[in-house]
Amino acid sequence: MNLNADAFKGKVAVITGGTSGLGLATAEYFASLGAQVYALGLQTEAARFASHLSIETCELDVTDYPAVDRFFDALPRLDFLITAAGITLGAKELEPEGFRKVIEVDLMAVHYSVLKGAAVIARSGGGAVVNFASMAMAFAGPNTPGYVASKGAIVTLTRQQAAQWVGHNVRVNAVAPGWVDSAILRGLPEDFLEGVKRRTPMKRFGEAKEIAKAIGFLCSDDASFITGVTLPVDGGFLFGA
């Protein structure tokens, strides 16, 4: 779906993890539709956005809850919140500290960001929240228990948040991205990548903008009767043979 170029004109969007990866692509897409975007993240000086887009970066650790409080308390208006911040630590997640760290960033911080952000959206007259799940919600990884557990939990947390905020004109949904072309993906072994493409019914990797467009749809008026769902954006990977 292609939204009109001014579909989000006059709207305000906050994107945690908006200074890199899929969050950055989403920040650019929302700004291209006319939104004022606040891209929150770490090492913001490394973020590169097109100069004509209305994007303001803000250095923020989503697990620093007093800082999260200060940011959202200072916002006069908010229409959309996208919680794209997330990490995975590989085999370090097998140990308690690594597991705890991933759960804190990928799950607990999502709960708190939505708790704060949805309240601002409600005061602004309503809007939408989109969380990031993953195809890991359905496929276990042998060395990433924290990531797998958190992304599975995002699905049920999203439903809880949808029920919590539906009476305040705030819709809450999630996307579950599949394998998306990225610098990290290109660093993986070629035989592994070919196997992923064979497993994907559409026989290709996704593009970051395709994830961003799905998020845009869930935030748009075209999704006005959709809340509490997790939308796979994965080229069919979840049902592929």
Which residues are marked as active site? Answer: 147
Contact between 56 and 87 under an 8 Å Cβ cutoff? The reply is: no
Angle between helices 109-123 and 65-73 (to 10 degrees): 10
Nearest to 228 by CA among 157, 169, 176, 177: 157
Inter-helix orientation angle 21-32/208-219, to 10°: 50
Distances (CA, A) of 147 to 37, 86, 193, 220: 27, 9, 21, 29
- Taking every pair of Cα atoms in the chain, the longest distance, rounded to a whole number of angstroms, is 51
Within 10 A of 163 (CB to CB), how many other CB atoms are there? Answer: 12
C-alpha span between 211 and 214 (Å, rounded)? 5
